[in-house]
Amino acid sequence: MKTIFEKERELFLPTYNRYPLEISYGEGAYLIDKKGDRYLDFFSGLAVNALGYAHPKIVQAVSEQITKFAHLSNNYITDIQIEFTEKLLKNAHMSRAFLANSGTEAIEGTLKLIRLKKGPDKKIFSLTNSFHGRTYGAMTLTAREKYKKGFEPLLQNIGHIEFNSIEDLESKINENTAAIIFELIQGEGGINEVSSEFISKVAELREKYGFLFIADAIQDGVGRSGKGFVHEYYNITPDVLVVAKSIGGGLPLGAFLTTEELCNVFPVGKHGTTFGGNPVSCAAGKVVLEEVFEHGLIEHVAELGAYLKNNLLKMKDELPDQIVDVRGRGFILGVELSFDASEVVKKMRARKVLTNATNQKVLRLLPPYIITKEDADLFLGALKDSLKN
Ligand SMILES: Cc1ncc(COP(=O)(O)O)c(C=O)c1O
């Protein structure tokens, strides 16, 4: 009989490099394979499963909603969409929402909003080393070449500003700037934090030129950084805040949230989606928001995130030849190694801990918010062991 890996090669376009694991089910922060081996999951489906696997409240909310209706289309507005969106806007301190299915779809909608508001001639900027998604607009914003090469022609009037370079920012931003969009902590790019000086300069230039500031909080938002959204650590509020990934607690959901000033840019019919704001996803999303913002998970992430980071910094002192840098906040942390991080991913997997490597040398940690101190210690032990060997 063929293995699922052999079948995978026959059935799918070869776009993914899959882990050699046959997962049977998930439970809390653990994935259990068909042999019954338990793996501590320290990247939670790429920053999606904020409440871990099979969270009882998500299971209940989703089951209740699906027995009523799974989907109605956006010709209807439903109670669950209202309840979810009220909580989302309140906790994000934003005025209006458009609900989508994914991060890249939310970015596309944001780009359309910027163009409609600012016109076709003004330029939109992102930062070098950024990642914003795989569809054409989001891919054009994405600065890293490996995601774009061969797909040209891309969208017009989009440029990139050198990461954290105030000089480059000042030389490119002017009255012809429509917007600047960035992740305050770059995820895919290797957990790089935008500096407070750079953010202050963006705020100052926005006052002067009136462009829009868009925060792509798809990976670092909804409590992952130890605050609701990373911009809350700084003296800046976005004109548009883009969320996805953890907001749906494992179900596909994304959104872009605007200020009051932008609430009338799209007239009826100008933008839309079939699945966006799906009621079952919203039911899961509402549980995520309650757990994160109302039941103390955010404080847990801040506390345990600091514990993890301190211990990683200590490990860096002990193993200076292996660990080059430790970056990030809360549960979005990066350990830059002096060598290919995928080696360590493999060694950790052998020790039953799942991690992810990004930008070659960075071990990316995106654990579910529900991990315990014992889980953190298990991870730290496995990492030290893997690095020493
Ligand atoms: C910062 C950021 N923006 C956008 C995206 C695209 O989101 P999605 O994969 O849901 O389309 C991602 C996905 O990794 C991301 O990390």
Residue nearest to atom 10 of ligand 1 (CA): 103
314 CA from centroid of ligand 1 (Å): 31
| % of the chain beyond a pLDDT of 90 | 99
Distance, first Cα to last Cα, the chain: 36
CB of residue 218 inside a 6 A radius of ligand 1: yes
pLDDT of residue 28: 98
Q: Return the ligand 1 atom nearest residue 252 CA.
A: 10
Token couple for 319: 């193993």
Q: 252 C-alpha to center of ligand 1: Å?
A: 12
- 181: part of which helix (H) or strand (E)? strand 177-182
Checking DSSP bridges between strand 158-161 and strand 332-337, what pairing results, if any? unpaired
Check: CB of residue 371 under 8 Å from CB of residue 360: no
Encode pLDDT of 54-77 as tens digits. Answer: 999 999 999 999 999 999 999 999
Provide the pLDDT for residue 74.
97
Per-residue pLDDT reduced to its tens digit, 88-127: 999 999 999 999 999 999 999 999 999 999 999 999 999 9
DSSP state of 195: P
From CA 250, how far away is CA 278, in angstroms rounded?
13
**pLDDT above 90 for 389:** no
**160, 143 Cβ separation under 8 angstroms:** yes
Q: Residue 203's CB: how many other CB atoms inside 10 A? A: 14
Whether residue 246 has its Cβ less than 6 Å from ligand 1: no
Q: Tell whether ligand 1 has an atom less than 6 A from the beta carbon of residue 129.
A: no
Mean pLDDT of 235-259: 98
Q: Is 110 near ligand 1, meaning CB less than 6 Å away?
A: no
Domains of the chain with CATH codes: 4-55+296-388 (3.90.1150.10), 56-294 (3.40.640.10)
Query: pLDDT tens-digit profile of 309-355?
Result: 999 999 999 999 999 999 999 999 999 999 999 999 999 999 999 99
Please give the Cα distance from 328 to 192 (Å, whole number): 7
**Confidence bin at 131 (pLDDT 50/70/90):** very high
Q: Is 187's C-beta closer than 6 angstroms to any atom of ligand 1?
A: yes
In this prediction, residues 40-48 reach a mean pLDDT of: 97
CA of 68 to the centre of ligand 1 (A): 30
Half-sphere exposure of 263 (CA within 13 A, CB side): 7
Asked if omega into 153 is within 30° of 0 (cis), the reply is yes
Tell me the per-residue pLDDT of 224-234, one tens digit each, with 9 for 90 and over: 999 999 999 99
According to DSSP, the residues that pair with 257 across neighbouring strands are 97, 241
pLDDT at 124: 98
Beta bridge partners of 40: 30, 353
Is residue 101 within 6 Å of ligand 1 at its C-beta? no
Does the beta carbon of 109 sit less than 6 angstroms from any atom of ligand 1? no
> Going by CA atoms, what residue is nearest to atom 6 of ligand 1?
133
Q: Classify the C-alpha dihedral 263-264-266-267 as positive or negative.
A: positive
pLDDT reading at 86 higher than 90: yes
Pocket flag, ligand 1, residue 131 (CB < 6 Å):
yes
Among 111, 188, 218, 241, name the best residue to mutate to test ligand 1's pocket (greatest count of ligand atoms within 8 A of Cβ).
218
Residue 381: pLDDT band with limits 50, 70, 90: very high
Looking at residues 4-9, what average pLDDT do you find? 96
Cβ–Cβ < 8 Å for 288, 51: yes
The stretch 369-379 carries a mean pLDDT of 98
Q: Which residue of 102, 131, 214 sits with most ligand 1 atoms within 8 Å of its CB, as the best mutation to test the pocket?
A: 131
